Amino acid sequence: MTDLILTEQADRILTVRIHRPDRKNALTHAMYTGLGDALEQAENDPEIRCVLITGSNDCFTAGNDLGEFAAGLPGAFEDTPVGRF
């Protein structure tokens, strides 16, 4: 998982933190992969009852990283990290 998506499990809650504050948490394909991995972890772990997705202190997310997404998706939408998420 990318270090831009941090996870912590406590009290049956999986907290997923988007951690790219220098770019207002703009999402990249690698970050979507990390988010998808976290949700898959939650789905497969019976101890996790809730997922909390949050951002940094001053920003949840600005949306997609436009520079990366302007280059296009790496394949059919359903097969991309964005489509998986």
DSSP assignments along 10-46, one per residue: ETTEEEEEE--GGGTT-B-HHHHHHHHHHHHHHHH-T
Q: Please give the average per-residue pLDDT across 53-79, as a whole number.
A: 83
Q: What is the pTM of this model?
A: 0.86
Q: What is the pLDDT of residues 21-52, one digit of tens each?
A: 999 999 999 999 999 999 999 999 999 999 99
21 is a domain residue: yes
56 is a domain residue: yes
Cα distances (Å, whole numbers) of residue 6 to 22, 26, 72, 78: 15, 15, 26, 24
Domain span at residue 34 reads: 5-75
- pLDDT > 70 in the chain, percent: 95
**Domain CATH for 16:** 3.30.300.220
- How far apart are the C-alpha atoms of 39 and 68, rounded to whole Å? 23
DSSP SS3 for 75: coil
pLDDT of 14 above 80: yes
So what's the pLDDT on residue 74?
Answer: 66
